[in-house]
A and B are shown apart, each in its own frame.
Chain A
Amino acid sequence: MNKRILIVDDSFYMRTMLKNMLTDAGYDVVGEAANGQQALEMAVATNPDLITLDVILPDNTGLDVLKGIRQQQPDAKVVMCSAVGQETIVNEAIENGALAYIVKPFSEERVLEIVGSALQGDGSPA
C-alpha cells in the first residue's frame, strides 16, 4: 500500500510540481487543498498518512490550519512548506507539532528526503 499524501498549497503550479514529485516517487496524492477550509475538510475525508502544508493561505495562516488539523486529528503527520525568511513561523509550527519543513523553491531530492523521514517508522513509500 503506497503512502497517502494530502497537499495543501494555494498555488496550482506548486501543487502540480509537488504532486508530480511525490507520485513519481511512488506516493499516492489523495487530495489537493487550495485553502485552509478545504485543508481541514480534506484532512478528515482522506485521512492521509502525511500532509504538506503551505504557511501562507488565502483564508487562514498555515499555522492556524496546522492547529486545526492537530486538534481534529492528533496523530496527523504534517510537514510545512515555506519560503526563505519565514523562520519564525516555521519554529512556531514545529512547536505546534509539525514534523519538518521544506523550503521553497523545492528541490526534488530534498522534498523526498524530508517526506520520507517524516513518514519513517511505518514503512517505505513504494
Chain B
Amino acid sequence: MTAREQEYRELFMAEALEYYDAMSRHLSELERNPQDVAALNELFRLMHNLKANARAMGFVDMGEVAHKMETLFGQIRSNERTFTGSLVPLTFRAVDILGNMIRAVGSGQEAVDAKSLLENLEHLIKGEEIVETSAPQTEDEAESDAARKLELSDLVYIPVKKLDNLLNLVGELVIDRDRILTLAAELGHPALQATARHLFRISDDLQYSVMDVRLVGAGVLLNKFPRVVRDVAAAENKQVELTLAGQDVQIDRNVLQLITDALLHIVRNAVSHGLEDPAARQAAGKPAAGKLLITALTERDDVLIQVQDDGRGINTEAVRRKAVRQGMLTADAAAALDEQEVWALLFEPGFSMAEQITDISGRGVGLDVVKLAIDSLGGRLRVNSELGKGTTFTLVLPTSIAVKGALLIELDERAYAVPLLHTDTVLALPNDQIFAVGGLLMTRIQDENIPLVPLQQLLYSEGDEPLPRATRADLPPDAGLHQILVVSYNNRRLGLLIDRFLRQQNIVVKSLSKPLDTIDLFGGVTLLGNGQLCLVLDVPALTRLFLAKRP
C-alpha cells in the first residue's frame, strides 16, 4: 500500500466510525420519535456520504448496504413509507453490520458477510416482507456486541492551530524552566536544585513529545511530485524517470507547508532547465530519459531534501557572463568568484538564466523566491553541479521550527544568539594570522580567504556609506586572541569579530512584533534563563549588509 493509500484508508476509517456513531444515535432518536425530521435528514446524509466514500475506497458491499439504507430513508422522507414494523429492527441491524464492516477495514479482518442483509433491504425497498435468516443472539454475543458499540476510535484528528498553540505554551514553559534553573543555581539550595533538574528533564520530554506530534512523513509532500513532473515533462517534450526516496523521514508539518512552493520551483526548474531533451541527451551519450531523484534524509538535527538531476549541469561561465550582463557585478569581480560563489548568484533577486521564457518555469521569477522561503525557516540551500553530469539542489531544513540550536555570543556586554544552522566555525586568532587585502581584514581557513568584520560595525553602522577601510594597523598590538565566529550563508563565509563566546543553547525564537519587525538584522528575540532578552541575529541579512557595504 502506498503512503497515500494508507492516508486515505485512515481518513476513511476515522470518518466512517464517526458516521457510525452518529447513525446509531439518530436511529435511536428516530425510534423514539418517528416524526423527527432532523434525525431522518442526518441519517440520509450520513448514509449518502458513507456510500460515496466506501465506493471511492472500493468497498463494494459497504457501499451497497449504505446505498440501500439511503434509498430506504429517502422513501421515509418522501412519505412513501413509515419508520415502523420490521423495517425498524432491520435498520438497526444494518447499522451494526456497517459498524462491523468499518472495523473490519481497520483491523484487516476478512469481510463481513452482508448477503442476507442486502437481500432483506432489497425486499423492503420493493415493499416486500423480509426473510428472517439469522438465529437469535446468545447472551455472550449480545454482550460482546454491546462492548463493541462502546469502542472509541484510536485516531484523533487535531487542527494544526491547536498544536501551534500547544507548542507556544511549551516554549513559554521552557523559558521559565531555564529561569528557575538559573535561580536555583544562584540560591544554591540543594532541594530546589534537585527539583529544578527534574523539571528540566520533564519539560524537555514534554517539548520533544509535542514536537513529535507535529511531525509528518516527508512523503506527504514528495508524493505530489510524480504528477507535477509528468505535466512539466509533457509540456517541455522531455522524458523524465522520477525516483522518490525517504518518504518516511519525519518533519514538522508547518516546515513542509512553507517549503512547498520552493520545492515545486526547484523541481520544475530541474525538468525544464536541468534536463536536456531526448535528442540532446542521446547526442551526449546519455539515455533519452533524464533521471530525477527527490530524496528526503536526516542529517543530525536537520532534514535534507535533495533534488538531483543527471542533466546538463550549471554552466558556470554562462552564469558569470549573465550576471555581468544583468549588471549585478563587474566583469573583474565576476572573474574573481570561485565556482560556489558563482552558483550562489543563481539565488540573487532578479537573476534568471532562462534565455526564453517557457510556460512552466522562467516567467521572470528566479530561484531567489526559493531562497527567501528557506531563509524564513532558518534553513539553507546548497547547490552542487558538474557540467554535463547534472545538478543537485539541497534544502537544509530544521526538523521543527520552534526550537533552534543557537550559539550565544557577547558583544558590548550584551548577549546575541546565532542559529547553529548558520554557524560554520569558531576561531581564536592571533594578530599574525590576520591580514588586510583591499581594505578588508582576512584570514585563511582551509585554503579559503574569509573576510573578517567586527560585528559591532555591522550592527552600529548607519546609512549607506561603505564600511571604513580596514588595515592591520587597526588591530591592537597586544590584543591576544581575537574571537571570531564564522557564519555561512549561500555558500559564502564571513568571520564576525566578537567579544566572547558564551555557550550553546536551545532557544525558542519569538518573532519581533511591530514596529520592531522592520529591523531586518534580527530574526527574532529569545528570553534567556536569567530573564535577559536576547536578540537573534539574522545571518542572511547580516551577510547581505556586509556585501552591500564592503569597502
Contacts and interface: CB of A to CB of B under 8 A. Distances in A.
A17 B12 CA distance: 10
A58 B53 contact: no
A105 to B, nearest CB: 4
A42 interface: no
B53 A14 contact: yes
Given A56-B45, A126-B360, A13 B8 contact: yes
B380 interface: no
A12 B14 CA distance: 10
A95 interface: no
Nearest to B268: A126
A126 B231 contact: yes
B50 to A, nearest CB: 9
A119 interface: no
Interface residues of A, number: 20
A24 B220 CA distance: 12
Which secondary structure characterizes the binding site on chain A?
Answer: mixed
B48 A83 contact: yes
A110 interface: no
Contacts of A12: 11, 14-15, 157
B93 interface: no
A49 B230 CA distance: 24
Contacts of A17: 8, 56
Nearest to B16: A13
A104 B227 CA distance: 22
A23 B53 CA distance: 20
Contacts of B122: none
A56 to B, nearest CB: 5
Given A16-B11, A24-B224, A25-B227, A83 B56 contact: no
Contact of B56 (A10, A23, A58, A106): A106
A83 B4 CA distance: 24
B49 interface: yes
Report which residue of B4, B49, B157, B231 has the largest number of chain A beta carbons within 10 angstroms of its beta carbon: B49
- Which size class do B's interface residues fall under? 20 to 34
A46 interface: no
A11 B15 contact: yes
Given A12-B11, A12-B15, A16-B11, A56 B56 contact: no
Contacts of A13: 8, 11-12, 15, 53, 56
Contacts of A25: 227, 231
Contacts of B15: 11-13
Interface in A77-116: 83, 104-106
B470 interface: no
B360 A83 contact: no
B55 interface: yes
B31 interface: no
B51 interface: yes
Given A16-B8, A83-B52, A104-B52, A24 B227 contact: yes
Contact of A58 (B11, B42, B157): B42
Nearest to B230: A24
A56 B43 CA distance: 12
B274 to A, nearest CB: 18
A55 to B, nearest CB: 9
A5 to B, nearest CB: 16
Given A11-B49, A16-B11, A126-B231, A105 B360 contact: no
Contacts of B48: 56, 83
Contacts of A104: 52, 55-56
B335 interface: no
A68 interface: no
Contacts of A10: 45, 49
A13 B99 CA distance: 17
Contacts of A73: none
Nearest to A104: B52
A25 B230 CA distance: 10
Contacts of B231: 25-26, 126
B228 interface: yes
A20 interface: yes
Contacts of B44: 56
A20 B225 CA distance: 11
Contacts of B157: 12
A25 B8 CA distance: 18
Contacts of A126: 231, 359-360
Contacts of B14: 12
A8 to B, nearest CB: 13
Contacts of B12: 13
Given A26-B231, A126-B359, 18 more contacts: A10-B49, A11-B52, A12-B11, A13-B8, A13-B11, A13-B56, A14-B53, A20-B4, A24-B224, A24-B227, A24-B228, A26-B228, A56-B45, A56-B49, A58-B45, A83-B51, A105-B52, A105-B56
6 contacts: A12-B15, A25-B227, A25-B231, A26-B228, A56-B48, A126-B360
Pairs of residues from A and B, 3 with the lowest C-beta to C-beta distance, nearest first: A105-B56, A24-B227, A104-B52
